[in-house]
Amino acid sequence: MTLQPGLYRHYKGPEYRVIGVARHSETEEEMVVYQALYGEFGFWVRPLSLFCETVDVDGEQVPRFALIRADAASFEL
């Protein structure tokens, strides 16, 4: 599963900047590294599978995080 770095909106409304995907050092699980674009602008990680899942909102399945705009300058190491 791949994830495009860029600007995302959480289904509850707040926006986040996805930095990229990292691997957990012990389990090798893929984790999304992202930053809140509100409040203290904290950095967070969440398993890729949970970041990309859908949630039920009033009987409709919607993405937990929806891409608003992809970053033009992304790179791989």
Q: What is the pLDDT of residues 35-50, one digit of tens each?
A: 999 999 999 999 999 9
Give, in order, the Cα–Cα distances in Å from 11 to each of 26, 29, 57: 30, 24, 8
Q: What is the pLDDT of residue 30?
A: 97
pLDDT tens digits for range 11-23: 999 999 999 999 9
Q: What is the pLDDT of residue 15?
A: 98
Q: Is the pLDDT at 77 greater than 60, yes or no?
A: no
User: Alpha-carbon distance 47 to 31, whole Å?
Assistant: 4
Residue with the larger pLDDT of the pair 72 and 71: 71
pTM here? 0.88
Domains and CATH numbers, the chain: 6-62 (2.30.30.320)
